[in-house]
Chain A
Amino acid sequence: MTAEPASIIGASVERLEDRPLVTGRGRFAGDVSFVHQLHMRIVRSAYAHARLKAVATEAARALPGVVAVWTADDIADLSPIDFREGPNEKLAPFRQPVLAREYVRYAGEPVAAVFATDPYIAEDAADLVTIEADELDAVIDASIPASEFTAGLTTEPTVCRQGYGDVAAAFREAANVIDMDLSVGRHSGVPLETRGAIGHYDAARDVLELHGAAKVPHKNREAMARMFGRSTAGVHLYEGHVGGGFGVRGEIYPEDILVLVAAMRLGRPVKWLEDRREHMIAANHSRQQRHRIRAAVDAQGRLIGIDDAFFHDQGAYIRTHGTRVADTACGILPGPYRLPHYRVDAHFRLTNKTPAATYRSPGRYETNFVRERLMDAIALKLGLSRIEVRRRNLVSPEEMPYERPLVALGDEVVLDSGDYEGLLNKALERCEWDRLEREAAERRKAGEYVGLGLAMYVEKSGLGPIDGARVNVHTNGDVEVITGGASVGQGFETVIAQVCAETLGTDYRRIRVVHGRTDRIEYGIGAHATRATVMTANATAVAAGKVRAKALDMAAQLLQTEPSKLTIRDGRVVNSDGSDSAGMPLGDLAHHLRPLSSTRGEREPGLAAEGWFTTSHMTYPYGVQVALVKIDPGTGGVHIEKMLIAFDIGRAINPMLVRGQLVGGFAQGLGGALFEEFQYDERGQPLSVTFADYLMPTAHEVPEVDVLIAEDAASTTNPLGIKGAGEGGIAAVGAVIASAVDDALGGKGLITQIPITPQALKAIIDGQKS
Chain B
Amino acid sequence: MSGRTSDPREITLSINGTVHKVAVEPRRTLVDVIRDDCGQTGTHIGCEHGVCGACTVLVDDEPLRSCLMFAVQADGRSIRTVEGLQTGDALHPMQEAFMRYHALQCGFCTPGFLMLAVAALEKRPDLNREELVDILSSNLCRCTGYENIVKAVCAAAADMKANLDASP
Contacts and interface: CB of A to CB of B under 8 A. Distances in A.
Contacts of A666: 145
Contacts of A242: 106
The A interface, classified by DSSP as helix, strand, loop or mixed, is: loop
A157 interface: no
B138 to A, nearest CB: 8
Interface string A443-459: 00000000000000000
Interface in A660-674: 660, 663-668
A699 B91 contact: no
A699 B48 contact: no
Contacts of B99: 14-15, 18-19, 22
A704 interface: yes
A18 B98 contact: yes
Given A691-B140, A699-B133, A22 B110 contact: yes
B106 A663 contact: no
A265 interface: no
Contacts of A660: 102, 105, 144, 148
A660 B109 CA distance: 15
A681 B52 CA distance: 26
Contact of B108 (A18, A28, A246, A663): A28
Nearest to B83: A24
B137 A699 contact: yes
A23 B42 contact: yes
B140 A192 contact: yes
A244 B44 CA distance: 13
A275 B67 CA distance: 12
Interface residues of A, number: 55
A720 interface: no
B106 A698 contact: no
- Among B44, B45, B147, the one with the most A-chain Cβ atoms within 10 Å of its Cβ is B147
B52 A691 contact: yes
A190 interface: yes
B72 interface: no
B145 A241 contact: no
Contacts of B102: 14-15, 656-657, 659-660
Interface string B114-151: 10000000000000000001101111111111111110
Contacts of B147: 663, 702, 704-705
Contact of A667 (B85, B95, B106, B145): B145
Nearest to B111: A24
- Among A23, A488, A668, A705, the one with the most B-chain Cβ atoms within 10 Å of its Cβ is A23
A326 to B, nearest CB: 25
B145 A276 contact: no
A193 B44 CA distance: 8
A245 B146 CA distance: 17
Contact of B104 (A21, A245, A704): A21
A191 B134 CA distance: 22
A241 B42 CA distance: 12
Interface string A7-25: 0000000110111011111
B104 A24 contact: no
A22 B40 contact: no
Interface in A610-669: 656-657, 659-660, 663-668
Contacts of A697: 146
A26 B145 contact: no
B77 interface: no
Nearest to B149: A699
A31 interface: yes
Nearest to A668: B142
B76 interface: no
B143 A489 contact: yes
Given A24-B83, A699-B150, A700-B137, A490 B48 contact: no
A21 to B, nearest CB: 3
B83 A23 contact: yes
Interface string B15-47: 000000000010110000001000011111111
B150 A17 contact: no
B71 to A, nearest CB: 12
B91 A22 contact: yes
- Among A15, A18, A702, the one with the most B-chain Cβ atoms within 10 Å of its Cβ is A18
Nearest to A698: B137
A750 interface: no
Contacts of B43: 24
- Among B98, B99, B109, B149, the one with the most A-chain Cβ atoms within 10 Å of its Cβ is B99
A193 B146 contact: no
Given A17-B107, A24-B41, A31-B41, A276 B48 contact: yes
Contacts of A189: 142
B106 A241 contact: yes
Contacts of A721: none
A38 to B, nearest CB: 14
Nearest to B84: A24
Interface string A466-500: 00000000000000000000001111000000000
A450 to B, nearest CB: 22
A174 B136 CA distance: 53
A241 B44 CA distance: 12
Contacts of A696: 140, 142
A244 B41 contact: no
B112 to A, nearest CB: 9
Contacts of A692: 49, 51
A726 to B, nearest CB: 11
Interface in A119-133: 120
A311 B9 CA distance: 56
B73 interface: no
B145 A664 contact: yes
Contacts of A663: 144-145, 147-148
Given A244-B108, A690-B47, 12 more contacts: A17-B107, A22-B95, A120-B25, A192-B46, A192-B109, A241-B107, A243-B109, A664-B105, A665-B145, A692-B49, A696-B142, A699-B133
Interface of A: 14-15, 17-19, 21-26, 28, 30-31, 120, 189-194, 241-246, 275-276, 488-491, 656-657, 659-660, 663-668, 690-692, 696-700, 702, 704-705, 729
For the complex of A and B, list the 8 residue pairs with the smallest distance between their C-beta atoms, beginning with the closest.
Answer: A24-B42, A489-B106, A243-B108, A21-B107, A667-B145, A24-B82, A691-B51, A663-B145
10 contacts: A23-B42, A23-B91, A24-B81, A24-B82, A30-B35, A243-B44, A244-B108, A663-B147, A690-B47, A691-B52
